[in-house]
Structure 1
Amino acid sequence: MARKLSERPEGHKIYVNCYCPGWVKTALTGYAGNNTVEEGADTGVWLALLSDQTSMGTFFAERREINF
């Protein structure tokens, strides 16, 4: 879906990537995760704040691009 959504006409400022927050300590995991909520959000915030959006339609984990 990220790849398809990133295929927008030239001139449209829509940047789409996806990321995995990892196994986060939340109610959903019974607080058994390895990452804090802040650690889980880190890559998403990092992607949102990138000034140079050269990567689009890609998957990230821990601020690294992952091939899928």
Structure 2
Amino acid sequence: MTLAEFNALLEKYNVKPQAEPTEDLPVVKLGIDSFDILMIIGDLEESTGKTLNLSLDCTIGELLSKLD
């Protein structure tokens, strides 16, 4: 998954991040609520068939690398 695809996923859930999503940004620093984070991760797990064991301080880049 690319950063652009991740941004499209945020748009799908109508999530308006408070910080510009970059690969170095921790997911928790997006400023979105935990329910939205769970929904996004659940969608990613379902679409990839992978279980994502992530901590809240993982970066967007780390999240994306687990999807490849």
Q: TM-score, normalised by structure 1?
A: 0.30
Which structure dedicates a bigger proportion of its chain to strand?
A: 1
